[in-house]
Amino acid sequence: MSTTTPTPRPLLLKKPVKLACVQLASGADKAANLAHAAAKVAEAAAGGAKIVVLPECFNSPYGCEFFPSYAEPLLPSPPPAESSPSFHALAAMARDNGVYLIGGSIPEVAESNGDKKYYNTSLTFGPSGALLATHRKVHLFDIDIPGRIRFRESDVLSAGSAVTTVELGEYGRVGVAICYDIRFPELAMIAARRDGCFALVYPGAFNTTTGPLHWRLQGQARAMDNQIYVALCSPARDTTAGYHAWGHSLIVDPMAQVLVEADENETIVSAKLDGARIEEARSGIPLRDQRRFDVYPDVSQ
- Residue 82 catalytic? no
Out of 30, 56, 108, 153, the active site residue is: 56
Out of 30, 72, 137, 197, the active site residue is: 137
79 alpha-carbon distance from chain centroid: 22
Write the burial class of residue 78 (CB in 10 Å: 0-12 exposed, 13-18 middle, 19+ buried). middle
Q: How far apart are CA 175 and CA 131, in angstroms?
A: 15
Out of 40, 57, 153, 179, the active site residue is: 179
What are residue 261's DSSP bridge partners?
Answer: 250
Sign of the Cα torsion 24, 25, 28, 32 reads negative
Write the burial class of residue 255 (CB in 10 Å: 0-12 exposed, 13-18 middle, 19+ buried). middle
- Residue 233 catalytic? no
Q: State the Cα angle at 234 between 140 and 179, rounded to 5°.
A: 20
- Residue 64 catalytic? no
Q: How far apart are CA 92 and CA 127, in angstroms?
A: 9
146-166 b/e with 16+ CB inside 10 Å = b?
A: eeeeebebeebbbebeebbbb
- Which residues does the annotation mark as catalytic? 56, 137, 179
